[in-house]
Structure formats: C-alpha cells, structure tokens
Amino acid sequence: MNDDKKQVVMIIICVVCLGLAAGITYWTNRDKSSSATITLLCANPQCEKTTEYSTEKFQNLIIRLSSQESLTSGQGPTVFPCSHCGKKSCYIAKKCDKCGAYFIPKYDANSQTYIDICTKCGYGRAMPPVNQP
C-alpha cells in the first residue's frame, strides 16, 4: 500500500472511532436525562393532583419561583404552588415501589429524616438525615 492510501485508511478509522465515541456518549446520557422526573403532589384534599416535571423544567420552576419569592421553605420540605388549584400546597412526592401510588414523605424535625412510608399501602422505610445548609 502506498502512503496516500495508508493516510486515507487512517483518516477513515479515526472518523469511525470518533463517530462511535459520539454515539456511545449520546446513548449513555440520553437515557439518564430523559427518564428523570420530579413529581409534585397537591396536599389540598379538594385537589390531590400530581404534576410531573423533567429535571430541567423543575430547575426552571425553582428559579422562577425563587425570583418571585413564591417558595415556602425552612425546616422541612419546600412548599410549591399547585398548577391545578393555585394554592401553596404541593410537595415533592414519591411513587410507592409496591402499589404505585404517589405520597408525600413525612418529615421528622427531631431526627431530620423523611419517613418514606406509603399512605395507601404502608410499604416503605425511613430515609437518611437531610443535610441542612
């Protein structure tokens, strides 16, 4: 093989390797970002609806609400306004691994833990302490 053909083969090999690396990176990161959702559950008994946000949309919601000073926080979970009923009664919810119902983990201020027990079927456990800033 002459030098020109060797150079062309080397360029083709490099382009194929870069394409494979880009494809692997895309497929690896695509699954993580597209499946991550945050669910808010309204604690208002007359509403009790859920709203799902992608991680990016949830971050934008927090930024928007922080700039409007609409977030209620402090000791315990953050309270969000409900997109359905309009009241400040939404909390980050967890989906039960057993029955699939959404519930709001209870916060124990004494131990600084969330009690992760489904309010519908009773399945769950205590979560590790929350790191307070």
In whole angstroms, give the CA distance from residue 5 to residue 7: 5
What average pLDDT values come out for the chain (133 residues) when binned by 10 residues?
80 76 68 70 94 89 78 70 91 90 84 80 68 46
In whole angstroms, give the CA distance from residue 17 to residue 7: 15
Q: Which two tokens stand for residue 103?
A: 């519930």
State residue 44's pLDDT score: 94
> Which ranges of 36-83 would DSSP assign to H, the alpha helix?
55-67
CA angle 93, 99, 104 (to 5 degrees): 20
State residue 33's pLDDT score: 47
pTM: 0.63
State residue 43's pLDDT score: 93
CA dihedral 76, 81, 82, 88 (to 10 degrees): 70
State residue 132's pLDDT score: 45
State residue 27's pLDDT score: 66
